[in-house]
Amino acid sequence: MAIQTRPGYLNPLTAIAELQTKQQALQNHMLLLKATGTDSGGATTETQKIIADELEQVTVELRSAKASGTQSIATRPRRDWYEHQKADSASPGCYQVKKDAEQDYQLLFQPYSED
Protein backbone atom coordinates (compact mmCIF):
# COMPACT_ATOMS: atom_id res chain seq x y z
CA MET A 1 0.00 0.00 0.00
CA ALA A 2 1.52 3.30 -1.08
CA ILE A 3 1.12 6.49 0.89
CA GLN A 4 -0.37 9.26 -1.20
CA THR A 5 0.19 12.92 -0.47
CA ARG A 6 -1.15 16.08 -1.99
CA PRO A 7 0.90 17.51 -4.84
CA GLY A 8 3.27 20.16 -3.53
CA TYR A 9 2.84 18.99 0.10
CA LEU A 10 5.96 19.41 2.20
CA ASN A 11 6.08 17.49 5.46
CA PRO A 12 7.11 20.02 8.14
CA LEU A 13 9.17 17.42 9.99
CA THR A 14 11.13 16.56 6.84
CA ALA A 15 11.75 20.25 6.16
CA ILE A 16 13.01 20.74 9.72
CA ALA A 17 15.35 17.75 9.42
CA GLU A 18 16.76 19.06 6.12
CA LEU A 19 17.33 22.52 7.60
CA GLN A 20 19.04 21.01 10.66
CA THR A 21 21.34 19.01 8.37
CA LYS A 22 22.18 22.12 6.34
CA GLN A 23 22.79 24.11 9.53
CA GLN A 24 25.13 21.42 10.87
CA ALA A 25 27.07 21.32 7.58
CA LEU A 26 27.51 25.11 7.63
CA GLN A 27 28.64 25.02 11.25
CA ASN A 28 31.17 22.31 10.41
CA HIS A 29 32.41 24.33 7.44
CA MET A 30 32.79 27.41 9.65
CA LEU A 31 34.75 25.43 12.27
CA LEU A 32 37.02 24.05 9.56
CA LEU A 33 37.67 27.53 8.19
CA LYS A 34 38.48 28.86 11.66
CA ALA A 35 40.75 25.89 12.38
CA THR A 36 42.81 26.47 9.24
CA GLY A 37 43.26 30.10 10.24
CA THR A 38 44.85 32.49 7.79
CA ASP A 39 46.80 29.82 5.89
CA SER A 40 44.87 30.53 2.71
CA GLY A 41 45.04 34.33 2.97
CA GLY A 42 42.22 36.85 2.59
CA ALA A 43 39.79 34.38 1.05
CA THR A 44 39.23 32.81 4.47
CA THR A 45 37.80 36.00 6.02
CA GLU A 46 35.49 36.56 3.06
CA THR A 47 34.45 32.91 3.03
CA GLN A 48 33.80 32.98 6.78
CA LYS A 49 31.56 36.02 6.33
CA ILE A 50 29.61 34.32 3.53
CA ILE A 51 29.22 31.12 5.56
CA ALA A 52 28.16 33.13 8.63
CA ASP A 53 25.48 34.92 6.58
CA GLU A 54 24.20 31.61 5.16
CA LEU A 55 24.23 30.09 8.64
CA GLU A 56 22.18 32.99 10.02
CA GLN A 57 19.66 32.64 7.17
CA VAL A 58 19.30 28.87 7.73
CA THR A 59 18.91 29.44 11.48
CA VAL A 60 16.07 31.91 10.86
CA GLU A 61 14.39 29.48 8.42
CA LEU A 62 14.79 26.67 10.94
CA ARG A 63 13.17 28.69 13.74
CA SER A 64 10.30 29.58 11.42
CA ALA A 65 9.86 25.97 10.27
CA LYS A 66 9.88 24.70 13.86
CA ALA A 67 7.29 27.29 14.89
CA SER A 68 4.96 26.56 11.97
CA GLY A 69 5.61 22.80 12.13
CA THR A 70 4.75 22.47 15.80
CA GLN A 71 1.79 24.79 15.37
CA SER A 72 0.34 22.71 12.53
CA ILE A 73 0.87 19.52 14.54
CA ALA A 74 -0.67 21.03 17.67
CA THR A 75 -3.75 22.38 15.88
CA ARG A 76 -4.70 19.16 14.13
CA PRO A 77 -8.29 18.20 14.86
CA ARG A 78 -8.84 15.19 17.04
CA ARG A 79 -10.03 12.29 14.93
CA ASP A 80 -11.56 10.04 17.54
CA TRP A 81 -11.86 9.78 21.29
CA TYR A 82 -13.44 7.69 24.00
CA GLU A 83 -16.38 8.96 25.99
CA HIS A 84 -17.38 6.88 28.96
CA GLN A 85 -21.10 6.18 29.12
CA LYS A 86 -23.11 4.33 31.70
CA ALA A 87 -23.99 0.81 30.61
CA ASP A 88 -27.65 -0.05 30.07
CA SER A 89 -28.95 -2.61 32.50
CA ALA A 90 -30.57 -4.71 29.76
CA SER A 91 -28.37 -6.57 27.30
CA PRO A 92 -29.62 -6.60 23.70
CA GLY A 93 -28.88 -10.30 23.19
CA CYS A 94 -26.27 -12.92 22.55
CA TYR A 95 -24.33 -13.92 19.45
CA GLN A 96 -23.27 -17.51 18.95
CA VAL A 97 -21.03 -19.17 16.33
CA LYS A 98 -22.24 -22.61 15.24
CA LYS A 99 -21.11 -25.16 12.63
CA ASP A 100 -23.76 -26.49 10.30
CA ALA A 101 -23.93 -29.90 8.58
CA GLU A 102 -21.48 -28.88 5.79
CA GLN A 103 -18.91 -27.70 8.36
CA ASP A 104 -19.57 -24.04 7.49
CA TYR A 105 -19.87 -21.48 10.23
CA GLN A 106 -23.08 -19.63 11.02
CA LEU A 107 -23.54 -16.63 13.22
CA LEU A 108 -26.72 -16.84 15.28
CA PHE A 109 -28.30 -14.03 17.27
CA GLN A 110 -30.67 -14.67 20.16
CA PRO A 111 -32.30 -11.55 21.60
CA TYR A 112 -33.00 -11.57 25.29
CA SER A 113 -36.65 -11.49 26.12
CA GLU A 114 -38.00 -9.75 29.19
CA ASP A 115 -40.33 -12.56 30.41
Write out pLDDT tens, residues 80-104. Answer: 777 777 766 666 778 888 888 887 8
- The rounded distance, in Å, linking the Cα atoms of 22 and 26 is 6
* pLDDT, position 54: 92
Give this prediction's pTM.
0.49
Of 1-10, 21-30, 33-42, the one with minimum mean pLDDT is 1-10
- The rounded distance, in Å, linking the Cα atoms of 18 and 23 is 9
Split at pLDDT 50, 70, 90, the class of 24 is: very high
